Amino acid sequence: MSPEDKIQQKFDQMDGVSECYKCKGSGEIAISVTTAKYLFPGPVPEDARGVAAATCYICKGIGYVGGDE
């Protein structure tokens, strides 16, 4: 079983958990390189200009919120 499958299996078993509203479950967000403000949920394309990938600060890169937090 792949690591992604294990995470999905754990997610399915948790009660009261929902997909992170900021990163939409990816664990990554796009931020502006000039202002460092949130732009859109990740993942960020490698050829994107003016944006950088960052770990989601809401879910801390897990992709979901609620449950055991």
Q: What is the pLDDT of residues 3-49, one digit of tens each?
A: 778 777 776 766 677 889 999 989 999 999 999 999 999 888 889 89
Cα–chain center distance at 19:
9
The alpha-helical segments, DSSP class H, found in 1-69 are: 3-13
What are the φ and ψ backbone dihedral angles of 7, each rounded to 5 degrees?
-65, -45
Q: Output the pTM of the full model.
A: 0.69
